[in-house]
Structure 1
C-alpha cells in the first residue's frame, strides 16, 4: 500500500501535461502560462509625470519656491514641442512624457497660475520628484512571467502591456463524474429504505469547477456490470474520469475489474491514509485517435471522496494544465483547542482555517468519520495529522490544506 507521498508521486509521474497551444488573451484567464515571458519593452517606456502639475528644473527652485514662465501645456498621450529652459515650466498631466530639460514635477496643489506664470510654494524639490523613470518597473529582456503561473487579472494586464494578443497556455481538462451503487437516488428523489441521495456527484462537480476544470455528469451506475461498463466507456472520452464508490473489496465493488475490461491500466490501488484508503488510480493510454484518460476510483463515503479529490484529482488537473507546483501546498497554522490523536494512518481531519494578523490559525471541527458530510459544512480546510499518537494543544503548529 502506498503512502500519500508516493501515491502523489505516481499520479504526477503518470499524468503528462497537455501540449501548449496559443489562445486569445481574452480567453486565458485561469489557465497556466506554457512558456516564460520576457519583457519586450521598457516600462514605463519614457520618463513620465506621476501627477498633475508643472514640469520644471529643480535648479531653478533651490529653495522650493519661485515664479516660472509657463511655455506649454501637455496631457497624457502628447509630447512637449518645447524643452524646459532656465526659468521656464510646462504644465503637465499625469502620465504625460517628461519634457526635455525638466527633472521633476511640482504637484498642482503647490502652485497657482498668474497669467502666463506659475507661482510655486516653498517646498523642497530634488531631481526625480513625482516622476516615474523609464524602465523603473521593468526593462526589455527582464523575466516577467514564468511558465506554470496561473493567469489572473494582474498577469493578463501585464501580457496586454507587453503586447501579447495570443498567449501560449495549456487548455482546461474535461472531467466526467460517475457515481456508483444501488443505494443511490438522484437529488430530486426521496430515498426509499436503505437508499441515500447522490451527494457525491454535486460535490465532485463543484470541486472540479473550483479546480478550473470543465465537467459533465454520467448519472448513477447500478452495481450491474453491463450498466457500469457502458458508463465507464462513455466517461473515458474525457481527460479525467472520476468514479465514486465500488473500489473496496466487497462483493459488489465492481469498478476495478470493469476498468480493466475497458482497457484502463491500474497504477495503484490503496493508500495508507484516512479517509480514502481504497483509492484506485489508473490510465487508459491515448493513441492517434484519442487522448489519454486518467481514472480515479474514489471511495463512496463523501468525506473520503472529497479528501481524495483535493489530494490527488486536483493535483492531476494542475499537472495537465501545467500549473506549478501541481501537488498540494500545506500551510503551517497555529492550533486552537485540545485534541488527542491515536490513528494508525495519516489522517486528513476537517478543520476551520482562519487568517489573523498573527498568521494562520486552525481549529478542528467535530467529525464522526468518512460518512460525516455534515462536518465538512463547518470546515474550509483539512488538518494533516501524522500517524503518531499525540495530544495537540493550543499553540501547537500543524500542517493544513485549504479547500478555498
Structure 2
C-alpha cells in the first residue's frame, strides 16, 4: 500500500469533522474549559443601582466642588444596606465601597479628601468634580445584553461574567467520547507481575491524557488479547457507550497477530487510509463506522503518542468545537542532522533557550519504543521528506510538547 503524505492524511481525517450537535447543561463550577453551545444574555443589570466606587462621603455635586465646605453627616450606608433619607444641601452620608448612593447624592468624596471636624461634621480638604467615584447603574451591562457568544471557550473571566449575570448553569457542547482499546497478548496492567514475554501496557495513559487535554471524555476499555472475538467485544462496548471516536492501540500493522483492521472492518468500518509517510507512526489507520471515527494507533509507545498529538488532538478539538493549533516554533539546531528519506520525521529533541533563541538538540537514540527519551523531550524537530543534511546552528521547525 502506498504511504499517504501526512498533510493529506490530516486533511482527510478532518475534512467532515464538525462540532457535535449534542449539548448539555452544566453547573457553573463544572463549566471551565467547556465550549458554550448557546449565547449568554444578562438576566439582570450590573450594577443594579448607582453605587459608590470608594470609601468616603456621598454628597451633592454642588457641595463637592469647593475646598473648605463643611457638611453635616446625617447617616451611614455600607454595601448590602440602604439609606432611608435624602441628602440635602450642606449634608452628606458616610458611604462605603459598593453601597447604593443615597437619594439626592450624585458624587462621592473619598475619605482621604475629608477632615472630620467634630462628630457629625466634616470639612472638604480638596474639591471633587460632580459625579466622581460613582458607578452608574448598568455600567457593566444591562438586562438583555449579549455577554458571551456561542462557541466561546469558557475561561475564568467568562464564568464570573455569567455568574454576575445571574446564570447558575450554562449550556455547553457535549464533550467527544473517546473509547480506548489496547490490544496484545503480551500486555498487562501497571502493577502486574510479568510472566515470560509480557510487558506493561503504557500507551493508553498518555493517549487518554492527550484526549482530555483536547476537551474529550475518555472510556478506557482495557486490554483485549489477540483474539478477533475479544477485540470485537470491546468494539461493541464502545459503540454501545456512544463513543464518537474509537482508538485502538497496536494490532494495526500487517503481522499475523495484527487483527484490528480485520475486526473493525467486520464491525462496519470503512477504511479511509492506512500507513502514513511519517516517522514514528507509519502504521496509523483511519476509518469511519457510521458517525464513529476509528483511529488505529501504532503499538510502539512513542509512535502512539506522536500520532495522538498530530491526529487525535485536532480531531477531538474539531468535534468539541474548540480552537486548536499545533505549537510550532522556529529554533536553531544544536547538532548536525543527516539528510532525511521519504517520510516526514518527528525527531525527539531537548529544547533550550540561548540568547533569546530556542535551541533544539536531537537525542542520539530515536527508537519509537523509548518513552524515557520522549518524556525528556521539550519538542519534536520536524524534518520534511527528503530534507537535506543540516548543520548545527541552522534554522529548524519544532513542534513544542507540553
Cα distance change on mapping 1:272 and 1:141 into 2, 3 Å: farther
The superposition leaves residues 348-403 of structure 1 with CA deviations (integer Å, 9 ceiling, x where unpaired) of 34456689997x95645625132221022223554544443363766957453443
* 2:335–2:362 Cα contact (<8 Å) kept: no
* 2:287–2:295 Cα contact (<8 Å) kept: yes
Give, in whole Å, the separation in 1 of the partners of 2:394 and 2:48: 51
* 2:382–2:396 Cα contact (<8 Å) kept: no
The alpha-carbon deviation at position 322 of structure 1 amounts to: 2.4
Could you tell me which residue of structure 1 aligns to residue 209 of structure 2? Answer: 206
The superposition leaves residues 146-200 of structure 1 with CA deviations (integer Å, 9 ceiling, x where unpaired) of 2222333332222122232342212233322211223323322344454421111
Could you tell me which residue of structure 1 aligns to residue 14 of structure 2? Answer: 12
The superposition leaves residues 10-49 of structure 1 with CA deviations (integer Å, 9 ceiling, x where unpaired) of 3333444142233444443332111232445543333322
Aligned length: 393
* 1:365–1:375 Cα contact (<8 Å) kept: no
Indicate yes or no: 2:37 matched with 1:34.
Answer: yes
* 1:30–1:212 Cα contact (<8 Å) kept: yes
Give, in whole Å, the separation in 1 of the partners of 2:215 and 2:176: 8
Could you tell me which residue of structure 1 aligns to residue 77 of structure 2? Answer: 74
Q: Report which stretch shifted further, 222-231 or 328-337.
A: 328-337
Give, in whole Å, the separation in 1 of the partners of 2:351 and 2:92: 57
Matched ranges for 1:55-66 at <5 A:
55-62=58-65, 66=69
Indicate yes or no: 2:263 matched with 1:266.
Answer: no
The superposition leaves residues 274-304 of structure 1 with CA deviations (integer Å, 9 ceiling, x where unpaired) of 322221122222xxxxxx4322100111111
* 1:247–1:297 Cα contact (<8 Å) kept: yes
Q: Report which stretch shifted further, 251-260 or 232-241.
A: 232-241
Match of 2:178 among 146, 155, 175: 175
Indicate yes or no: 2:261 matched with 1:256.
Answer: yes
Match of 2:285 among 280, 284, 307: 280
- Give secondary structure in 1 for the equivalent of 2:100: coil
Matched ranges for 1:104-119 at <5 A:
104-113=107-116, 114-119=118-123
Q: Report which stretch shifted further, 292-301 or 156-165.
A: 156-165
Could you tell me which residue of structure 1 aligns to residue 310 of structure 2? Answer: 311
The alpha-carbon deviation at position 246 of structure 1 amounts to: 1.6
Q: Report which stretch shifted further, 138-147 or 310-319.
A: 138-147
Structure 2 unmatched runs, 5+:
none
The superposition leaves residues 319-354 of structure 1 with CA deviations (integer Å, 9 ceiling, x where unpaired) of 33222x2x4342535557345363343333445668
Cα distance change on mapping 1:309 and 1:74 into 2, 3 Å: same
Give, in whole Å, the separation in 2 of the partners of 1:128 and 1:383: 60
- Give secondary structure in 1 for the equivalent of 2:73: strand
- Give secondary structure in 2 for the equivalent of 1:32: coil
Cα distance change on mapping 1:333 and 1:139 into 2, 3 Å: farther
- Give secondary structure in 2 for the equivalent of 1:304: helix
Matched ranges for 1:2-401 at <5 A:
2-16=4-18, 17-62=20-65, 66-113=69-116, 114-122=118-126, 125-139=128-142, 142-238=145-241, 239=243, 240-285=245-290, 292-323=291-322, 325=323, 327-332=324-329, 334-335=331-332, 337-340=334-337, 342-343=339-340, 344-351=342-349, 361=358, 363-364=360-361, 366=363, 368-387=366-385, 388-389=387-388, 391=390, 396=395, 398-401=397-400
* 1:110–1:120 Cα contact (<8 Å) kept: yes
Cα distance change on mapping 1:125 and 1:270 into 2, 3 Å: farther
Cα distance change on mapping 1:268 and 1:88 into 2, 3 Å: farther
- Give secondary structure in 2 for the equivalent of 1:205: helix
Give, in whole Å, the separation in 1 of the partners of 2:89 and 2:381: 68
Cα distance change on mapping 1:83 and 1:382 into 2, 3 Å: farther
The superposition leaves residues 238-274 of structure 1 with CA deviations (integer Å, 9 ceiling, x where unpaired) of 4122111122233332211111001122232233333
- Give secondary structure in 1 for the equivalent of 2:279: coil
Q: Report which stretch shifted further, 249-258 or 388-397.
A: 388-397
Give, in whole Å, the separation in 1 of the partners of 2:38 and 2:281: 36
Structure 1 unmatched runs, 5+:
286-291
The alpha-carbon deviation at position 306 of structure 1 amounts to: 0.8
Q: Report which stretch shifted further, 386-395 or 110-119.
A: 386-395
* 2:250–2:300 Cα contact (<8 Å) kept: yes
Give, in whole Å, the separation in 2 of the partners of 1:357 and 1:142: 48
* 2:334–2:362 Cα contact (<8 Å) kept: no
